[in-house]
């Protein structure tokens, strides 16, 4: 079987002779490797909302983001499960950049970059 019938019926062609097998893999040069991702920015302000329930972490963020220069990063520490959806949604709604979410031993750390 060759051609279309091989593809239809799933038969694998016979193994190639040793002289026709693929050559050894070419080593990847250092310049071709994917660069390491940059480390997260150091926050200009950290808001500790651990132990606070929704909507307090968002209210604290909205009140204190004005004190950070444009382009600055804010870290919000929260352990309320609603914050995992509320903080990114607030950033989208207010046109700020949601940078990252990191797990903490008890809760999460949200990084937000002030856009305006």
Active site residues: 54
* Residue 49 bridge partners (DSSP): 78
108/116 Cα distance (integer angstroms): 25
Residue 88 — φ and ψ, nearest 5°?
-60, -40
Question: Residue 61 in contact with residue 87, Cβ under 8 Å?
Answer: yes
């Amino acid at each position: 079987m060759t051609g279309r019938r091989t593809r239809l019926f799933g038969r694998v062609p016979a193994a190639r002779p040793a002289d026709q097998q693929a050559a050894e893999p070419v080593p990847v040069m250092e310049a071709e490797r994917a660069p390491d991702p940059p480390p997260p920015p150091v926050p200009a302000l950290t808001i500790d909302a651990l132990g606070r329930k929704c909507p307090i972490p968002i209210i604290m963020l909205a009140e204190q983001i004005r004190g950070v220069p444009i382009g600055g990063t804010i870290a919000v520490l929260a352990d309320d499960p609603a914050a995992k959806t509320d903080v990114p949604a607030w950033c989208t709604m207010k046109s700020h950049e949601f940078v990252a979410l990191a797990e903490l031993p008890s809760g999460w750390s949200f990084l937000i970059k002030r856009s305006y």
